[in-house]
Structures are given as C-alpha cells and as structure tokens.
Structure 1
C-alpha cells in the first residue's frame, strides 16, 4: 500500500486542537477535493446558530478535528502499545476519520427527514463512486482502499480497534464535536480532559479500553455529553427553528407537486429531490447557502404560507412551545383547533417534536442497535464495563433524557383585546389547566 509523505508537515490552525497535523499526501489531497471542501458550506449545528450566535462552525472544521484526534490516538498506540496495535491500520483509520461526515447535506437532519436522504449511505456512495475525486484519490492508494474506508464507517471493517476509534460511545467523532460545539456556543457544558482520555486509552485484541486510573476522566466525558444534549442540542428554540425549516421545505414540496410553483421561483437544484430522482451530483450541489438563497427568493412568493415561513426562518421568528407527556397528549387536538380558529393552518403552524438521548448504555446484544460498551482495564489486565466501576455512570445508565414539545404560533399567548382574544384565552386556559408545562 503506497503512503507517500509530504515534503514537509502541513498544519491547520484550529481553535480546539491548536494545530492539526498532516503528513500523508493522501490526507491533504482528500481535504482539497470538491466533495470535502463543500463541508465548509454546511454548519455543524445547523439552525443552532440562531440561538447560540457563535455556532457558525462547519462540518469541515469538525471533520479535521476528528482526523486530528484519531491521529493522536494512533500515535499513542504506536508509541506505547506496539504489540497490541498494528500501525499499518493507521491510514485507513485517518481517512475514515476525515471522511466520516462527507455525506451530510444542507441543514443535515431536517433535510434528511423531508427528502428521505441518508447521509451515511451517501458518504459510502461518495467513497465508492468512481466519478468522485475522493474515490480517485483513495483508489490511488490501493484498488480496494475505498471499500476499506467505507467499511470502517459502516462498522463492518474487521479490525474493531479502528471502528471504535471512529464510532463508539467514546470516539474521536464525539470527543471533537463536544469540545468544538462547547467552544463555539460559548458554554462550558461540553468540556472534558481530552489529553487525559487519550493518555489512558489503550488497544486490546477486541477493541479499545481505558486504564482504571483514568476512569474519572471518562466519567467527566459522559457527564459533559449528557449536559450538552440537555442544554445545547435539545434547546427548545433550536428545535422550534427546525420545525420552521421543516415546514418551509415541506410547503415548497407540496406547491411543486401541485404544479403551483411559478417559473421565476422554481428552486432548480431542489427539483430532483421534489421528484424523488436525485443522483449523487444533484446532492453534492447543495449546501446551506443554496437553501438560504431560495428562501430569500420566496420572501416575494405569492403563497402566504411559503412566504411567511421563509421570513420566519430568515428573520428568526420561531414557534413557541410547551412540553407535554403521554398523560397530557389528549389536549393537543383541542389546541390545534384553537390555532385554526385563530386563522392559522394547523398543518404548518403546529408541530410535535420529541428529543431524547441515552447518556450511557451498557452493551446489550439483543437490542436493535447494540452499543459498544466502555471497558475499564484493571491492573491485572481484566476488563470491567464502566457502569460497574462508576457509581456516577451507573446512575445515568439506561435512562433516556429529554422531552416532548408542542409548537404553536407565539401570538396564541397574546393578551391583546381584539376579535380573537377569546380564542387566545381558551388556548391559554388549556395550557394552564391541562398541566402542560409553561411555554419556552
């Protein structure tokens, strides 16, 4: 396998890792491909920048960060565990780390939900399709190298150490996005001791473990991840803006399918997705800026709903929300009726959203998606699952956290004394007496 080095190490300045170090020519060539450069134009946190104004960082910067953490892991393994780690695995690990998110589309998960795309499947297509620059560069390493890198990303690569570097309950991907998202949102929730975790990480035959004397650093990581989900990723206003974005794209799709899109407003690059016939090149033409440009055009569109949601998204006017439970969900149909009586189409101006996360889960081979457990290596070389050694992690184990929210127009909370005041009062009465938790 050919792995030529650069004449001199290339470095990228980075706010999280200080320097990102590149020695292999193939890594620099991959970074310079059009497919990878597109990630500069896709925000890592999607609409969250409308809540945390500093969260303008991209999938590009995150991907470089995952590569850098993986490089540091490989360096540690090669220096300290040469008998447990085969350093010939380094290049496939580095390439998989760099390219793991290359299939993300504009506004990632909201776009996927509306158009039934799958960023992981598209990542594999980018790696394996011979029309891409990424595939050409990977094939120059070895004919089977694109398939090897793709198999790391889809968890079928035969070396579990490499797979767990990129995808496990404590991997380079999660470690970078927690630190990077905390830095860019201006919060401290996601901070943990990365240097210590990398120091106590070690390979063994069946994967990756952590020295017992570093367990508290791993605990800190688990708690940081829990806090980031509760405070940042599940923020109710971010979710409200995702609702706006989703309804905006859905309305555009409905209008197109009904033949109601005026030619001057046709979103040409979205039409293959409206018609369920997009190919890889159609997908790679899209980024956040493309969608934002169409949204700007639609500010002048004659359809009231499309125009309003384009303005709501671009001007940051989210829907309001209240939390509900299985016990109070029976109130939602009446709330939708009141929203309709106030003059809003409840198909677009109401929504239910649930966001839940499992902070830590021990390995369960019978589950639909079993997670790789975190192993703590004892002094005698035996392995113990983390939650059996940590009371803190045991308290979080298997406990889903999050909430369900009902979204509606902010005006429904109005106290104004106009024609619709009785409707507003009834709506607020249901919120108060129905034990729905106060709006946020």
Structure 2
C-alpha cells in the first residue's frame, strides 16, 4: 500500500481531545474532500440543540474525534502489544491506516437531521457511507484509491462489519468503541452536562488486542463500568429528552406533509424544493444525497412558511420558531386512550395525521451475546491475569443490573393548545375533555 507520511505532523485544536494529530497524507486529503467538509453542515445531535442550546457541534467534529481516539488506540497497541507472528493475536500495525480511514469516515453518509430524515425517506446512513466511499465519482474514493485500488472496498468493509480483522471492526463498532466514546464525551461537553464524562485515558490504557477482537485488563474494569453507566445516563437524560423528541416529531410531520403534497401534485405554482424531489420520487443518486444538509432543509422550511397549504405553513413555523409538541407518557394500561385523544385533537381543528404522534425511545444499555439472536452482539470481555476472558456483567454487579434491561419510555405527542386553556376559541370546547384523559404529572 502507498501510505505517505506528512513532512510535518498537522494538528487540529479540539475541546475534547486538545489536539487531533494527523500524520498521514491520506487522512489530511480525506478531511479536505467536499464530501467530508459537508459534515460541517450537519449537526451531531439534530433537534437536541432546541433543548440544549450549546449542542451546535457537527458530524465533522465528531468524526475527527473518532479518528483521534482510534489513532491513540493504534499507538497503544503498537507500543504495548505488537505482533511477533501472524498467529499471536496481537496488533499488526499494517492495519493502522484502514482503521484510521474507517474511523474518520464512519459517519460520512448521514443526511440532514440524521435519523429523522432516515425515517421519512427510508435511507440508511451506513449504506450511504459505503456508497460514497466506493463510488468512483466521489473525491473520497479518489483519495482512497491513491493508497491502493482495492483500498476503498477495504474501508467500506470495516463500516459493513465484514473486514476480516475483528480488532479493526471493534475499534469502530462495538459496545465500547471509538465512536461511542467520542460522542458521549463530546455530547456531554456541548450540552453542558456531566453524565457522559467517563475516564477515557484509563480506558484506552487498559484496552488490549487478542485474536478475536479487543478486551480490557482486569484492573481497568471499574473504568469500563463507569463508561457503561455514563452511556446509560446520557441516553436517559440527553438523547431521550422529551422536548427534543417533541421537536423531532414536528420535523417528521413537516417533512411528511411536504412529501404528501408533492405526491398529490399540490406543490405546483410554488417554488419546487428541487433538491428534495429525488427523495420524494425515491430515485436518489449520490450527488442528490450529498447536496442536502441542515441548512438546505432550513431554507426550504423558511420558504414553506409562506406556502398556501396551512398545515405545511404552520409546521414550518413551529419548527423554525421552536414550538415543540407537548407529550404525555403512556403504557400498556393507558394505551387504549390514544385513539380518543387523537380524535379530540382532530375535533379541535388539527389534522391528527400531522398533529399527533406516538414516539418511543428505548435503549439497551448493555447486552451479552446470545447465540439464539439473529444479530450478534460484541460483548465486553475482561482479561484475567492468566489470559482468560470473562464477560463484564458476570463480574460487575453494576453492569449486571443493566444487562438486558431495556430502558426508555413511550409518549403521545400533541399540540400544546390542547392543554392550555383558551377562553374564546375552538380549543375551550375540548380542553377539559382532553385534560381529563391525561394526568398532569405525565405531561412534558
């Protein structure tokens, strides 16, 4: 492989890692491609910035951070666990460059507002990441091919979890990987919270390669426990925040309304959202996909505030002006009330298809491998002094308490008007009836 070193190391200042060190020409060239620079224009946390005003960081900064953590892992492995022969299960530093490129590019295929966009238009960011990497028409592909003709496919196979070296795959994607470690620390920092602040330095110190992947030294188990708990707290307190989800529901319904109007030929006579048309038509090229970012969508939303369709106009206003839908928790005992609540929203003058939603957010903080499951989990292995491996939850009471326990909630979303009393409008007729169905302590 043709892997050129830079004549002098280049560094990028970063609030999480202090310096991000770039030593290979291919990494710097990848950073400077138009496809990677596009990630500056996509927020890492989507609608969470409407709840945590500091969360304006981008996919670009996260990808740089994942690269840096991966670089540190490679340095540690090469310094402390270099391979002496092909069968010893230790680190072969020839794998470094594919690991670094995969780390840098792992989120390349995220669309605007990430997961909300994926849901509406049935896109898959990992699939698009692989397409962008392997397509000859991208600058990313041209840079990777300078390493070797088959190098783009090697990098894509890491994203696809089919790369033959499990150490490289687990660095980027496992229950404790460079991706998760960076986004927990970065998201905690930018949301102004402390939940995600685990001891990264200690975890990197106790990581070690073995033949089937990556394990952790026994004396570092408590740092790994802390990481698992931090991840649990971040999901409960930040990623599943009901107000962020309320804005996500507005965004979802806004895109859905635009899609429905287009499909019924009701966007004629108004400026056509030309960059969204391929997605409406389900005929998307790589260039179409890469043309979109958060700013493009926000521009369309601004235009839609003057659109003659009242629903599209109102939803665009709600999103741009931060008017989230309110929500109430429900469970299997109260789920039967949802159809009646939807009808009450409809009776108050709102189209229930666009002004009500069920939003479920659940996470599995930690899971263990189950041979009966279709999707194999990469469990966290703790290496004992004699070289044997023990799965984390069997020796950690804290992690065992979370293992296999799905956490989260189910919420019914609706316009705030349904719980704010009005004296002289249509809502007053339905206000008390709606509130009678919902306990105040369940509303957020």
The bucket for the TM-score relative to the shorter chain is over 0.9
Q: Is the Cα–Cα contact under 8 Å of residues 323 and 437 in structure 1 kept in the other structure?
A: no
* Match in the other structure for 2:112: 106
Do structure 1's residue 337 and structure 2's residue 343 form an aligned pair? Answer: yes
**Structure 1 CA distance for aligned equivalents of residues 374 and 11 of structure 2:** 41
Structure 2's unaligned 5+ residue stretches are: 84-89
Q: 1:264 aligns with which of 245, 265, 270?
A: 270
Is 1:415 the counterpart of 2:412 in the alignment?
A: no
In the alignment, which residue of structure 2 is the partner of 1:290?
A: 296
The residue correspondences of 1:183-332 to structure 2 (distance < 5 A) are 183-332=189-338
Q: C-alpha separation between the residues in 1 aligned to 2:420 and 2:55?
A: 31
C-alpha separation in 1, matches of 2:442 and 2:154:
51
2:442 matches 1:438: yes
Is the CA contact 2:421–2:427 (under 8 Å) kept in the aligned structure 1? no
Q: 2:6 aligns to what?
A: 6
Determine helix, strand or coil for the equivalent of 2:21: strand
Instruction: Give the corresponding residue for 1:363.
Output: 369
Mapped partners of 1:427, 1:264: distance in 2:
37
Matches within 5 A, 1:56-71: 56-71=56-71
User: Which has the higher mean CA deviation after the structures are superposed, 417-426 or 307-316?
Assistant: 417-426
Q: Offset of 1:341 from its aligned partner?
A: 1.2
Q: 2:87 corresponds to which residue?
A: none
Aligned to 1:153: 159
Deviations 1:177-213 (A, max 9, x none): 0000000000000000000000000001111000000
Q: CA RMSD in A?
A: 0.9
Classify the secondary structure of the residue corresponding to 2:374: coil
Mapped contact 1:10–1:23 kept (Cα < 8 A)? yes
8 A Cα contact 1:265 1:301, kept in partner: no
In the alignment, structure 1 residue 386 sits paired with structure 2 residue 385: no
Return the alpha-carbon distance in structure 2 between the equivalents of residues 286 and 420 of structure 1.
Answer: 38
> For 1:43-82, what per-residue CA distance to the aligned partner results, in whole angstroms no more than 9, with x for missing partners?
0000110110000000000000000000000000000001
Deviation of 1:216 (Å): 0.3
User: Which residue pairs with 1:45 in the alignment?
Assistant: 45
Q: Deviations over 1:356-395 (max 9, x none)?
A: 0000001113213221010000111110000011000000
Distance 2:421 2:118 in 1: 38
Contact in 1 for aligned 2:121/2:279 (Cα 8 Å):
yes
Deviation at 1:437, TM superposition (A): 5.3
Show structure 1 runs of 4+ deviating over 4 A.
none
SS of 2:438's equivalent in the other structure is: helix
CA contact 2:360–2:411 (8 Å) conserved in 1 = yes
Partners of 2:423 and 2:287 lie apart in 1 by 54
Distance (whole Å) between structure 2 residues aligned to residue 90 and residue 341 of structure 1: 61
Query: Is the 8 Å Cα contact of residues 197 and 230 (structure 2) preserved in structure 1?
Result: yes
Give SS of 1:421's match. helix
1:25 equivalenced with 2:29 (yes/no): no
Q: What does 1:133-172 align with in structure 2 at a 5 Å threshold?
A: 133-172=139-178
Q: Which secondary structure does the structure 1 equivalent of 2:146 belong to?
A: helix
* Partner SS for 1:121: helix
Q: Is the 8 A contact 1:324 1:437 kept in 2?
A: no
Deviations 1:148-178 (A, max 9, x none): 1011111000000000000000000000000
Q: Distance in 2 between matches of 1:295 and 1:161?
A: 44
What is the TM-score when the length of structure 1 is the normalising length? 0.98
| Secondary structure of residue in 1 paired with 2:8 | strand
- Distance between the aligned counterparts of 2:345 and 2:218, measured in 1? 56
Q: Structure 1 unaligned segments of length 5 or more: list them.
A: none
Deviations 1:377-428 (Å, cap 9, x if unpaired)?
0111110000011000000000000000000110111223335423110110
Determine the C-alpha separation between the residues in 2 that align with 1:125 and 1:200.
35
Q: Which residue in the other structure is 2:433 paired with?
A: 426
1:285-343 CA distances to partner (integer Å, 9 max, x unpaired)? 00000000000011111100000000000000000000001221110011011111111
